[in-house]
Each structure stands twice: as C-alpha cells, then as structure tokens.
Amino acid sequence: MNDKPLMPKATAVWLVENTKISFKQIADFCDLHELEIKGIADGDVARGIKAYNPILAGQLTREEIEECSKDNNKSLVLNKKTLDIKSEKKVNKYVPLSKRQDRPEAILWLTKNYPQLSDGQIVKLVGSTKNTVSSIRNKKYWNTSNLTPKDPVVFNFCSEADIKKAVDKSDRKIARKKKEAEKENKNIEDQRKTNQNNEI
C-alpha cells in the first residue's frame, strides 16, 4: 500500500495483541513483512515497543477492525485525514492506559481468577499470544505495574459460557491428573506392603 499508519511497528504490536486480524492484513496495513508480524506475535520482534492504538489515533475504526476480523480477504483502510499536521498533533498526545490495554487487563483478570487455565486456553479466549499471556502471568509484562484486572466479557473478547467451558475442561484435566497420581501412589504403597510381607 502507498500510505502507512503513523508508528507502523507500534501499531502492528497493538493489532497483534488486541485483534483477531490475520498477520497478512496487519502486514499490509502497516507496510511490514508478514514474517515481521509473526515475529511480533512470537515475541521475537519489536520487544520493548509500546503498542500504539490506531483507533484512538483516528487511523482506524473499531467497526472496520471487526469487519476485517470476520473476513481475512478484506483489507484495512487507513483514514488519510489523520495524516495532516493538525491531526498528527492530535494523535501524538498521551493516550490513557485504560483505553489502550483492555486485552492485557483481561488476561490479568483470567490469570488471577482462573489460574488453572493454560496459556493456550487464555489465548483462545481473548485472541492474544502465548508470549503476552506468559509475561503477564509471570509479571514480566512491560507494563505490569499499570495493569488492573478486568473481566474480558465486558470487552466482548469472549462470553461467560466460553470461560465456563474452558474452566470446566481445565478442572477435568486437573482432576484426572490428581486421580492418576493417587492411583500411582496407591500402587506404590501396595507394592511396599507386599514387599514387607514377603520379608516377614
């Protein structure tokens, strides 16, 4: 594309962390290579770069992002009006953290309220990356000190039913492992008693 957003790499970081748009769509919009976007998602590229919200910057609308999330063949279109001098001054002003970190805060909420959920399950629930989930869970996320746990249902990342289904699945897995461990311990104890009887 001829036009690219302000702070394209930072914008790509935000789109990776906060949307379900494909790597190709993000790459095309930010004028970056698709492999760079994959690297951002894996945590290998753009480490330390603060995410830049293109919605608050006026470069994209939430409606357009939602449409592109549903159709991988649809391309994100930059709002060119944001590229004039007045708009550039406007988008460079401070963006409240509460408005640009909904997804990380939703992840924090899930790790605190349902620690049994795996990183993979949380990724599916909120559409983030394992690297981001792991860093938030282990308090290594770049902005951990400013995060406040918030219910992902409020942000429409997932439904209560989705969370319940994931939790039930995780609980069943934990219960199964516990049962297997108890069975193993019982076998060991039975074997110990058998050996003692044989010695007598």
Calculate what percentage of the chain has a pLDDT beyond 70.
86
CA separation for the pair 197, 35 (Å, rounded): 65
- The per-residue pLDDT for 101 is 64
- The per-residue pLDDT for 86 is 39
- The per-residue pLDDT for 115 is 92
Same domain flag for 192 and 177: yes
Specify the number of domains making up the chain.
2
In this predicted model, what pLDDT tens digit does every residue of 89-142 receive, in sequence order? 433 334 344 445 688 999 999 999 999 999 999 999 988 888 999 999 999 998
- pLDDT of 87 > 80? The answer is no
The answer to whether position 81 is within a domain reads yes
Same domain flag for 135 and 77: no
**Average pLDDT score, the chain:** 82
Mean of the pLDDT values across residues 59-71?
A: 88
- pLDDT of 1 > 60? The answer is no
Domain span at residue 111 reads 101-199
Same domain flag for 90 and 110: no
Q: How far is CA 128 from CA 86, 93, 125, 149, in A?
A: 33, 26, 8, 16
Look-up of token digits 């406040």: 148
- The per-residue pLDDT for 136 is 94
- The per-residue pLDDT for 199 is 66
At residue 83's C-alpha, the angle toward residues 79 and 87, to 5°, is 95
Q: How far is CA 61 from CA 52, 79, 162, 167, 193, in A?
A: 14, 9, 26, 33, 70
Which range, 49-58, 94-103, 168-177, has the best average confidence (pLDDT)?
Answer: 168-177
What tokens does 134 get? 């792991």
Same domain flag for 178 and 111: yes
- The per-residue pLDDT for 117 is 94
Confidence category of residue 28, pLDDT binned at 50, 70, 90: very high
- pLDDT of 182 > 60? The answer is yes
Residue count of the chain, please give it: 200
- pLDDT of 75 > 80? The answer is yes
- pLDDT of 12 > 70? The answer is yes
Same domain flag for 127 and 76: no
- The per-residue pLDDT for 80 is 66
The answer to whether position 2 is within a domain reads no
Confidence category of residue 181, pLDDT binned at 50, 70, 90: confident
Calculate what percentage of the chain has a pLDDT beyond 90.
22
Residues in Cβ contact with 126 at an 8 Å cutoff, skipping those fewer than 6 apart: 103, 106, 107, 110, 152, 157, 158
Same domain flag for 190 and 121: yes
